[in-house]
Amino acid sequence: MTARNFKHALFCAVITMVVAYPILGLNLVARGTRVGLEGADTSTLVAIFVAAMVVFSFQLYRDTIMAALGKIPKLPPLAGREPMPQAKRVKMESWVLTGIIVLALFWPFFVSRGSVDLATLVLIYIMLALGLNVVVGLAGLLDLGYVAFYAVGAYTFALLSQYMGISFWMALPLGALFAALFGLVLGFPVLRLRGDYLAIVTLGFGEIIRILLNNWTAVTGGPNGIGGIPEPTLFGMEFGRRVKEEGNTSFHETFGIAYSGEHKVIFLYLIALVLAVITALVIRRLMRMPVGRAWEALREDEIAARSLGLSRTAVKLSAFTIGAFFAGFAGTVFASKQGFISPESFVFLESAIILAIVVLGGMGSQLGVVLAAIAVTILPELAREFSDYRMLVFGAAMVLMMVWRPQGLMPMRRTHIELKRQE
Protein backbone atom coordinates (compact mmCIF):
# COMPACT_ATOMS: atom_id res chain seq x y z
CA MET A 1 0.00 0.00 0.00
CA THR A 2 2.56 2.55 1.15
CA ALA A 3 5.10 1.32 -1.36
CA ARG A 4 2.60 1.75 -4.13
CA ASN A 5 1.65 5.19 -2.91
CA PHE A 6 5.32 6.16 -2.78
CA LYS A 7 5.92 5.00 -6.33
CA HIS A 8 2.82 6.77 -7.56
CA ALA A 9 3.77 9.99 -5.73
CA LEU A 10 7.29 9.91 -7.14
CA PHE A 11 5.89 9.42 -10.61
CA CYS A 12 3.52 12.36 -10.23
CA ALA A 13 6.30 14.61 -8.95
CA VAL A 14 8.55 13.72 -11.88
CA ILE A 15 5.72 14.40 -14.32
CA THR A 16 5.13 17.77 -12.69
CA MET A 17 8.77 18.69 -13.20
CA VAL A 18 8.89 17.36 -16.73
CA VAL A 19 5.81 19.37 -17.66
CA ALA A 20 6.62 22.52 -15.74
CA TYR A 21 10.32 22.92 -16.50
CA PRO A 22 10.17 23.51 -20.27
CA ILE A 23 7.16 25.78 -19.91
CA LEU A 24 8.29 27.94 -17.01
CA GLY A 25 12.02 27.31 -16.81
CA LEU A 26 12.99 28.19 -20.36
CA ASN A 27 12.45 31.62 -21.84
CA LEU A 28 12.69 32.80 -25.39
CA VAL A 29 14.66 36.02 -25.71
CA ALA A 30 15.34 38.23 -28.69
CA ARG A 31 19.02 38.61 -29.52
CA GLY A 32 19.14 41.12 -32.29
CA THR A 33 17.36 39.44 -35.17
CA ARG A 34 17.66 35.94 -33.77
CA VAL A 35 15.79 34.24 -31.03
CA GLY A 36 17.69 32.61 -28.24
CA LEU A 37 16.84 30.33 -25.39
CA GLU A 38 17.61 31.29 -21.82
CA GLY A 39 17.16 29.54 -18.52
CA ALA A 40 14.84 31.24 -16.06
CA ASP A 41 16.18 32.69 -12.80
CA THR A 42 16.71 30.58 -9.74
CA SER A 43 13.49 31.56 -8.01
CA THR A 44 11.42 30.04 -10.80
CA LEU A 45 13.42 26.83 -10.65
CA VAL A 46 12.95 26.70 -6.90
CA ALA A 47 9.22 27.30 -7.36
CA ILE A 48 9.00 24.40 -9.81
CA PHE A 49 10.84 22.17 -7.37
CA VAL A 50 8.56 23.23 -4.51
CA ALA A 51 5.51 22.55 -6.69
CA ALA A 52 6.82 19.10 -7.45
CA MET A 53 7.38 18.50 -3.72
CA VAL A 54 3.81 19.61 -2.96
CA VAL A 55 2.48 17.21 -5.58
CA PHE A 56 4.71 14.49 -4.16
CA SER A 57 3.57 14.89 -0.58
CA PHE A 58 -0.08 15.26 -1.57
CA GLN A 59 0.02 12.05 -3.56
CA LEU A 60 1.91 10.26 -0.79
CA TYR A 61 -0.66 11.15 1.88
CA ARG A 62 -3.56 11.27 -0.49
CA ASP A 63 -5.69 8.69 1.29
CA THR A 64 -5.27 10.45 4.64
CA ILE A 65 -6.02 13.87 3.17
CA MET A 66 -9.06 12.73 1.26
CA ALA A 67 -10.36 10.91 4.32
CA ALA A 68 -9.95 14.08 6.38
CA LEU A 69 -11.77 16.05 3.70
CA GLY A 70 -14.57 13.55 3.76
CA LYS A 71 -15.08 14.22 7.47
CA ILE A 72 -15.86 17.88 6.87
CA PRO A 73 -19.60 18.11 7.32
CA LYS A 74 -21.59 18.46 4.14
CA LEU A 75 -22.87 21.97 3.58
CA PRO A 76 -26.61 22.37 4.01
CA PRO A 77 -28.32 19.24 5.30
CA LEU A 78 -31.03 19.43 2.68
CA ALA A 79 -32.19 15.89 3.14
CA GLY A 80 -33.49 16.52 6.63
CA ARG A 81 -35.70 19.41 5.71
CA GLU A 82 -39.28 18.97 4.69
CA PRO A 83 -39.61 20.02 1.04
CA MET A 84 -41.82 23.04 0.53
CA PRO A 85 -45.27 22.31 -0.82
CA GLN A 86 -45.21 22.38 -4.58
CA ALA A 87 -47.74 25.14 -5.13
CA LYS A 88 -46.12 27.41 -2.57
CA ARG A 89 -42.67 26.96 -4.03
CA VAL A 90 -43.79 27.64 -7.59
CA LYS A 91 -45.55 30.80 -6.44
CA MET A 92 -42.52 31.98 -4.51
CA GLU A 93 -40.21 31.27 -7.42
CA SER A 94 -42.30 33.24 -9.86
CA TRP A 95 -42.47 36.20 -7.43
CA VAL A 96 -38.72 36.19 -6.93
CA LEU A 97 -38.11 35.98 -10.69
CA THR A 98 -40.54 38.81 -11.41
CA GLY A 99 -38.79 40.87 -8.76
CA ILE A 100 -35.41 40.25 -10.31
CA ILE A 101 -36.66 41.23 -13.75
CA VAL A 102 -38.21 44.46 -12.43
CA LEU A 103 -34.95 45.24 -10.65
CA ALA A 104 -33.07 44.58 -13.86
CA LEU A 105 -35.33 47.07 -15.62
CA PHE A 106 -34.37 49.95 -13.33
CA TRP A 107 -30.84 48.94 -12.51
CA PRO A 108 -29.11 50.51 -15.58
CA PHE A 109 -30.18 54.03 -14.58
CA PHE A 110 -27.98 53.92 -11.49
CA VAL A 111 -24.79 52.31 -12.70
CA SER A 112 -21.94 53.15 -15.00
CA ARG A 113 -22.08 52.89 -18.73
CA GLY A 114 -19.49 50.13 -18.73
CA SER A 115 -21.59 47.93 -16.46
CA VAL A 116 -24.66 48.36 -18.62
CA ASP A 117 -22.66 47.50 -21.68
CA LEU A 118 -21.35 44.38 -20.01
CA ALA A 119 -24.84 43.47 -18.84
CA THR A 120 -26.07 43.68 -22.43
CA LEU A 121 -23.39 41.23 -23.40
CA VAL A 122 -24.47 38.96 -20.55
CA LEU A 123 -28.04 39.08 -21.83
CA ILE A 124 -26.89 38.18 -25.33
CA TYR A 125 -25.07 35.18 -23.90
CA ILE A 126 -28.15 34.24 -21.92
CA MET A 127 -30.18 34.20 -25.13
CA LEU A 128 -27.55 32.10 -26.86
CA ALA A 129 -27.24 29.67 -23.99
CA LEU A 130 -31.00 29.28 -23.65
CA GLY A 131 -31.20 28.53 -27.35
CA LEU A 132 -28.38 26.01 -27.24
CA ASN A 133 -29.97 24.49 -24.17
CA VAL A 134 -32.84 23.38 -26.38
CA VAL A 135 -30.50 21.57 -28.74
CA VAL A 136 -28.00 20.12 -26.27
CA GLY A 137 -29.81 20.04 -22.95
CA LEU A 138 -33.26 18.98 -24.05
CA ALA A 139 -32.86 17.20 -27.36
CA GLY A 140 -29.44 15.79 -26.44
CA LEU A 141 -27.88 16.76 -29.77
CA LEU A 142 -24.30 17.86 -29.19
CA ASP A 143 -23.89 20.95 -31.36
CA LEU A 144 -20.39 22.41 -31.55
CA GLY A 145 -21.16 24.86 -34.35
CA TYR A 146 -23.87 26.85 -32.66
CA VAL A 147 -22.02 30.10 -33.21
CA ALA A 148 -22.80 29.75 -36.92
CA PHE A 149 -26.43 30.65 -36.32
CA TYR A 150 -25.36 33.57 -34.15
CA ALA A 151 -23.22 34.73 -37.09
CA VAL A 152 -26.08 34.25 -39.54
CA GLY A 153 -28.31 36.46 -37.38
CA ALA A 154 -25.66 39.15 -37.03
CA TYR A 155 -24.68 39.14 -40.69
CA THR A 156 -28.29 39.13 -41.86
CA PHE A 157 -28.82 42.41 -40.07
CA ALA A 158 -25.47 43.85 -41.15
CA LEU A 159 -25.92 42.97 -44.81
CA LEU A 160 -29.57 43.99 -45.01
CA SER A 161 -28.82 47.33 -43.44
CA GLN A 162 -25.83 47.89 -45.68
CA TYR A 163 -27.47 46.96 -48.96
CA MET A 164 -31.13 47.67 -48.33
CA GLY A 165 -31.12 50.09 -45.44
CA ILE A 166 -33.30 47.93 -43.25
CA SER A 167 -33.74 49.02 -39.64
CA PHE A 168 -33.12 47.03 -36.47
CA TRP A 169 -36.77 46.21 -35.87
CA MET A 170 -37.22 44.82 -39.35
CA ALA A 171 -33.99 42.88 -39.14
CA LEU A 172 -34.76 41.30 -35.78
CA PRO A 173 -37.40 38.83 -37.01
CA LEU A 174 -35.64 38.44 -40.35
CA GLY A 175 -32.32 37.60 -38.71
CA ALA A 176 -33.96 35.07 -36.42
CA LEU A 177 -35.94 33.48 -39.25
CA PHE A 178 -32.89 33.33 -41.45
CA ALA A 179 -30.88 31.67 -38.71
CA ALA A 180 -33.75 29.24 -38.17
CA LEU A 181 -33.68 28.43 -41.87
CA PHE A 182 -29.97 27.65 -41.57
CA GLY A 183 -30.76 25.45 -38.57
CA LEU A 184 -33.25 23.55 -40.70
CA VAL A 185 -30.75 23.21 -43.55
CA LEU A 186 -28.07 21.91 -41.22
CA GLY A 187 -30.59 19.58 -39.64
CA PHE A 188 -31.22 17.55 -42.77
CA PRO A 189 -27.77 16.06 -43.37
CA VAL A 190 -27.25 15.27 -39.70
CA LEU A 191 -30.57 13.55 -39.09
CA ARG A 192 -29.01 10.13 -38.78
CA LEU A 193 -26.08 11.21 -36.67
CA ARG A 194 -25.79 11.23 -32.92
CA GLY A 195 -23.20 11.97 -30.29
CA ASP A 196 -19.61 12.33 -31.47
CA TYR A 197 -20.45 12.15 -35.16
CA LEU A 198 -23.01 14.87 -34.85
CA ALA A 199 -20.55 17.02 -32.90
CA ILE A 200 -17.97 16.78 -35.66
CA VAL A 201 -20.41 17.66 -38.44
CA THR A 202 -21.81 20.64 -36.55
CA LEU A 203 -18.26 21.76 -35.77
CA GLY A 204 -17.53 21.65 -39.48
CA PHE A 205 -20.70 23.58 -40.27
CA GLY A 206 -19.70 26.33 -37.85
CA GLU A 207 -16.32 26.63 -39.52
CA ILE A 208 -17.85 26.65 -43.00
CA ILE A 209 -20.00 29.64 -42.14
CA ARG A 210 -17.06 31.51 -40.60
CA ILE A 211 -14.72 30.77 -43.51
CA LEU A 212 -17.41 31.70 -45.99
CA LEU A 213 -17.89 35.05 -44.28
CA ASN A 214 -14.14 35.52 -44.24
CA ASN A 215 -13.60 34.80 -47.92
CA TRP A 216 -16.66 36.12 -49.65
CA THR A 217 -15.08 39.53 -49.69
CA ALA A 218 -17.33 41.02 -52.35
CA VAL A 219 -20.41 40.72 -50.18
CA THR A 220 -19.32 40.41 -46.57
CA GLY A 221 -16.19 42.51 -46.69
CA GLY A 222 -14.17 39.50 -45.58
CA PRO A 223 -11.93 39.99 -42.55
CA ASN A 224 -12.59 43.73 -42.67
CA GLY A 225 -16.10 43.07 -41.50
CA ILE A 226 -19.07 45.35 -41.85
CA GLY A 227 -19.33 48.63 -40.02
CA GLY A 228 -21.92 51.32 -39.61
CA ILE A 229 -24.66 48.99 -38.49
CA PRO A 230 -27.54 51.17 -37.29
CA GLU A 231 -28.63 51.31 -33.70
CA PRO A 232 -32.18 50.49 -32.80
CA THR A 233 -34.67 53.31 -32.80
CA LEU A 234 -37.57 53.93 -30.45
CA PHE A 235 -40.64 54.71 -32.57
CA GLY A 236 -38.49 56.52 -35.09
CA MET A 237 -36.39 58.33 -32.48
CA GLU A 238 -32.67 57.94 -32.86
CA PHE A 239 -30.25 57.94 -29.99
CA GLY A 240 -27.34 59.62 -31.74
CA ARG A 241 -26.41 63.27 -31.27
CA ARG A 242 -27.52 64.05 -34.80
CA VAL A 243 -30.27 62.36 -36.78
CA LYS A 244 -28.82 60.15 -39.50
CA GLU A 245 -31.90 59.16 -41.42
CA GLU A 246 -34.52 61.34 -43.02
CA GLY A 247 -37.80 61.45 -41.18
CA ASN A 248 -36.42 60.33 -37.85
CA THR A 249 -36.18 62.57 -34.84
CA SER A 250 -33.65 62.37 -32.09
CA PHE A 251 -34.49 61.08 -28.67
CA HIS A 252 -32.96 63.86 -26.60
CA GLU A 253 -34.59 66.62 -28.64
CA THR A 254 -38.04 65.06 -28.53
CA PHE A 255 -37.96 64.88 -24.77
CA GLY A 256 -36.04 68.08 -24.38
CA ILE A 257 -33.24 66.58 -22.34
CA ALA A 258 -29.53 66.96 -22.77
CA TYR A 259 -27.82 64.51 -25.08
CA SER A 260 -26.11 61.66 -23.32
CA GLY A 261 -24.33 58.68 -24.80
CA GLU A 262 -25.79 56.59 -22.04
CA HIS A 263 -29.32 56.67 -23.44
CA LYS A 264 -28.34 54.48 -26.32
CA VAL A 265 -26.54 51.96 -24.12
CA ILE A 266 -29.44 51.72 -21.72
CA PHE A 267 -31.94 51.39 -24.54
CA LEU A 268 -29.98 48.51 -26.05
CA TYR A 269 -29.75 46.89 -22.65
CA LEU A 270 -33.52 47.11 -22.22
CA ILE A 271 -34.12 45.60 -25.65
CA ALA A 272 -31.75 42.76 -24.83
CA LEU A 273 -33.47 42.27 -21.48
CA VAL A 274 -36.91 42.08 -23.04
CA LEU A 275 -35.70 39.67 -25.72
CA ALA A 276 -33.94 37.48 -23.17
CA VAL A 277 -37.08 37.32 -21.06
CA ILE A 278 -39.16 36.48 -24.13
CA THR A 279 -36.65 33.78 -25.07
CA ALA A 280 -36.79 32.28 -21.60
CA LEU A 281 -40.59 32.35 -21.44
CA VAL A 282 -41.09 30.89 -24.90
CA ILE A 283 -38.64 28.06 -24.33
CA ARG A 284 -40.09 27.40 -20.90
CA ARG A 285 -43.50 27.07 -22.48
CA LEU A 286 -42.15 24.85 -25.26
CA MET A 287 -40.60 22.55 -22.68
CA ARG A 288 -44.04 21.83 -21.27
CA MET A 289 -45.61 21.32 -24.63
CA PRO A 290 -45.67 18.07 -26.61
CA VAL A 291 -42.77 19.25 -28.74
CA GLY A 292 -40.60 19.84 -25.66
CA ARG A 293 -41.40 16.43 -24.25
CA ALA A 294 -40.65 14.91 -27.63
CA TRP A 295 -37.19 16.50 -27.54
CA GLU A 296 -36.50 14.96 -24.19
CA ALA A 297 -37.91 11.61 -25.24
CA LEU A 298 -35.54 11.61 -28.18
CA ARG A 299 -32.63 12.35 -25.85
CA GLU A 300 -33.65 9.61 -23.46
CA ASP A 301 -34.33 6.80 -25.89
CA GLU A 302 -34.63 7.31 -29.59
CA ILE A 303 -35.88 3.80 -30.34
CA ALA A 304 -38.64 3.95 -27.76
CA ALA A 305 -39.65 7.39 -29.01
CA ARG A 306 -39.97 6.09 -32.54
CA SER A 307 -41.90 3.06 -31.41
CA LEU A 308 -44.48 5.45 -29.95
CA GLY A 309 -44.95 7.19 -33.27
CA LEU A 310 -42.60 10.14 -32.85
CA SER A 311 -40.93 11.08 -36.09
CA ARG A 312 -37.22 11.46 -35.56
CA THR A 313 -37.00 13.86 -38.49
CA ALA A 314 -39.60 16.25 -37.16
CA VAL A 315 -38.30 16.23 -33.60
CA LYS A 316 -34.65 16.78 -34.49
CA LEU A 317 -35.37 19.44 -37.07
CA SER A 318 -37.62 21.34 -34.70
CA ALA A 319 -34.92 21.35 -32.03
CA PHE A 320 -32.28 22.62 -34.45
CA THR A 321 -34.59 25.20 -35.94
CA ILE A 322 -35.82 26.64 -32.68
CA GLY A 323 -32.33 26.67 -31.17
CA ALA A 324 -31.02 28.50 -34.23
CA PHE A 325 -33.93 30.94 -34.16
CA PHE A 326 -32.90 32.33 -30.78
CA ALA A 327 -29.25 32.45 -31.80
CA GLY A 328 -30.38 34.64 -34.67
CA PHE A 329 -32.13 36.92 -32.19
CA ALA A 330 -28.96 37.21 -30.17
CA GLY A 331 -26.88 37.81 -33.29
CA THR A 332 -29.05 40.73 -34.40
CA VAL A 333 -28.78 42.38 -31.00
CA PHE A 334 -25.05 41.78 -30.97
CA ALA A 335 -24.57 43.39 -34.39
CA SER A 336 -26.54 46.41 -33.28
CA LYS A 337 -24.64 46.70 -30.02
CA GLN A 338 -21.21 46.52 -31.64
CA GLY A 339 -22.07 48.54 -34.72
CA PHE A 340 -19.35 46.54 -36.42
CA ILE A 341 -18.99 42.81 -36.98
CA SER A 342 -16.34 40.64 -38.53
CA PRO A 343 -15.80 36.88 -38.71
CA GLU A 344 -13.44 37.29 -35.73
CA SER A 345 -16.47 37.45 -33.42
CA PHE A 346 -17.73 34.05 -34.47
CA VAL A 347 -14.83 31.70 -33.92
CA PHE A 348 -15.11 28.22 -32.47
CA LEU A 349 -14.19 29.49 -29.01
CA GLU A 350 -17.57 31.22 -28.85
CA SER A 351 -19.35 27.93 -29.51
CA ALA A 352 -17.24 26.32 -26.82
CA ILE A 353 -18.06 29.04 -24.31
CA ILE A 354 -21.79 28.83 -24.98
CA LEU A 355 -21.64 25.06 -24.63
CA ALA A 356 -19.66 25.47 -21.41
CA ILE A 357 -22.39 27.75 -20.07
CA VAL A 358 -25.02 25.11 -20.78
CA VAL A 359 -22.98 22.34 -19.18
CA LEU A 360 -22.01 24.45 -16.17
CA GLY A 361 -25.56 25.59 -15.61
CA GLY A 362 -27.01 22.12 -15.79
CA MET A 363 -28.32 20.61 -19.00
CA GLY A 364 -31.94 21.49 -19.57
CA SER A 365 -32.18 23.79 -16.55
CA GLN A 366 -33.10 27.33 -17.53
CA LEU A 367 -32.28 29.01 -14.25
CA GLY A 368 -28.95 27.22 -14.07
CA VAL A 369 -28.07 28.26 -17.60
CA VAL A 370 -28.88 31.90 -16.83
CA LEU A 371 -26.71 31.84 -13.71
CA ALA A 372 -23.86 30.19 -15.58
CA ALA A 373 -24.12 32.74 -18.40
CA ILE A 374 -23.78 35.53 -15.85
CA ALA A 375 -20.85 33.85 -14.14
CA VAL A 376 -18.95 32.97 -17.29
CA THR A 377 -19.32 36.45 -18.79
CA ILE A 378 -18.77 38.57 -15.70
CA LEU A 379 -16.03 36.70 -13.85
CA PRO A 380 -13.37 37.32 -16.50
CA GLU A 381 -14.26 41.03 -16.41
CA LEU A 382 -13.99 41.20 -12.64
CA ALA A 383 -10.69 39.39 -12.67
CA ARG A 384 -9.04 41.52 -15.31
CA GLU A 385 -5.67 41.46 -13.54
CA PHE A 386 -5.56 37.72 -14.02
CA SER A 387 -6.44 37.91 -17.70
CA ASP A 388 -3.33 35.91 -18.60
CA TYR A 389 -4.68 33.01 -16.61
CA ARG A 390 -8.27 33.34 -17.78
CA MET A 391 -8.33 30.11 -19.74
CA LEU A 392 -6.45 28.31 -16.97
CA VAL A 393 -9.03 29.37 -14.40
CA PHE A 394 -11.82 28.55 -16.81
CA GLY A 395 -10.46 25.05 -17.36
CA ALA A 396 -9.92 24.49 -13.68
CA ALA A 397 -13.47 25.62 -12.92
CA MET A 398 -14.79 23.15 -15.49
CA VAL A 399 -12.78 20.29 -14.02
CA LEU A 400 -13.87 21.12 -10.48
CA MET A 401 -17.49 21.32 -11.58
CA MET A 402 -17.27 17.95 -13.24
CA VAL A 403 -15.85 16.46 -10.06
CA TRP A 404 -18.24 18.01 -7.55
CA ARG A 405 -21.37 18.82 -9.47
CA PRO A 406 -21.39 16.86 -12.69
CA GLN A 407 -25.07 17.64 -13.13
CA GLY A 408 -24.38 21.40 -13.26
CA LEU A 409 -25.02 24.36 -10.98
CA MET A 410 -28.76 23.84 -10.87
CA PRO A 411 -29.73 20.54 -12.39
CA MET A 412 -32.99 20.44 -14.24
CA ARG A 413 -35.95 19.76 -12.02
CA ARG A 414 -38.97 18.03 -13.42
CA THR A 415 -42.18 19.93 -13.24
CA HIS A 416 -44.64 18.42 -10.84
CA ILE A 417 -47.83 17.48 -12.64
CA GLU A 418 -50.97 17.28 -10.57
CA LEU A 419 -53.33 14.54 -11.66
CA LYS A 420 -56.98 14.30 -10.90
CA ARG A 421 -57.92 11.10 -9.10
CA GLN A 422 -60.31 8.93 -11.02
CA GLU A 423 -63.50 8.09 -9.19
Partner 1 sequence: MLEVQNLSMRFGGLLAVDQVSLDVQEHEIVSVIGPNGAGKTTVFNCLSGFYKPTGGTIVFKGQEVQGKPDYKISRLGMVRTFQHVRLFNQMSVVENLLVAQHRHLNTNLLSGLIKTPNYREREQKSLDRAAYWLDRVGLLDLANRDAGNLAYGQQRRLEIARCMVTEPKLLMLDEPAAGLNPAETKDLNQLIVSLKEDYHVSVLLIEHDMSLVMDISDRITVINQGRPLAKGTPGEIRQNDDVIKAYLGEA
Which residues contact partner 1 by CB under 8 A? 282, 285-286, 289-291, 293-294, 296-297, 300-301, 303-312, 414, 416-417, 419-422
Beta strand 237-238 with 34-39 is unpaired
Smallest separation (angstroms) from partner 1 to the CB of 290? 4
Q: Quick check: 123 and 276 in contact, CB under 8 A?
A: yes
Give the H or E element holding residue 39.
strand 34-39
Q: CB-wise, 94 or 249, nearer to partner 1?
A: 94
Closer Cβ to partner 1, 88 or 416, answer by number: 416
- We find the least distance from the C-beta atom of residue 302 to partner 1, in angstroms, to be 10
What is the nearest approach in angstroms of partner 1 to the Cβ of residue 319?
A: 13
Half-sphere exposure of 16 (CA within 13 A, CB side): 20
Least separation, in Å, of the C-beta of 298 and partner 1? 9
SS3 content of the chain, % helix, strand, coil (to 5): 70, 5, 25
Closest approach of partner 1 to the CB of residue 139, in Å: 13
CA angle, residues 406, 407, 408, in degrees to nearest 5: 90
2 or 422, CB closer to partner 1?
Answer: 422
Please identify, using beta-carbon distances, which residue of 237 and 282 lies nearer to partner 1: 282
Q: Whose Cβ is closer to partner 1: residue 187's or residue 206's? A: 187
Nearer of residues 35 and 419 to partner 1, judged by Cβ: 419
What is the distance between the alpha carbons of residues 364 and 134, in angstroms, rounded to a whole number?
7
Contact 295, 139 (CB under 8 A): yes
Burial of 325 (0-12, 13-18, 19+ CB in 10 A): buried
Contact between residue 388 and residue 407 where contact means Cβ atoms under 8 Å apart: no
Beta-bridged to residue 29, according to DSSP, are 36
Give least dist CB 414 to partner 1, A.
5
122, 137, 4, 136: which is closest to 59 by C-alpha?
4
| CA distance linking residue 304 with residue 115, whole number of Å | 49
150 Cβ contact partners less than 8 Å away, ≥ 6 residues apart: 128, 179, 327, 328, 330, 331, 334, 346, 350
Residues near 34 by beta carbon (within 8 Å), at least 6 away in sequence:
none
Minimum CB distance to partner 1, residue 83 (Å): 12
Nearest CB to partner 1, comparing residues 161 and 318: 318
Nearer to partner 1, 91 or 285 (CB): 285
Q: Which is nearer to partner 1, 38 or 300 (CB)?
A: 300
Give the burial class of 62: count Cβ atoms within 10 A of its Cβ; 0-12 exposed, 13-18 middle, 19 or more buried: middle
**Contact between residue 237 and residue 264 where contact means Cβ atoms under 8 Å apart:** no
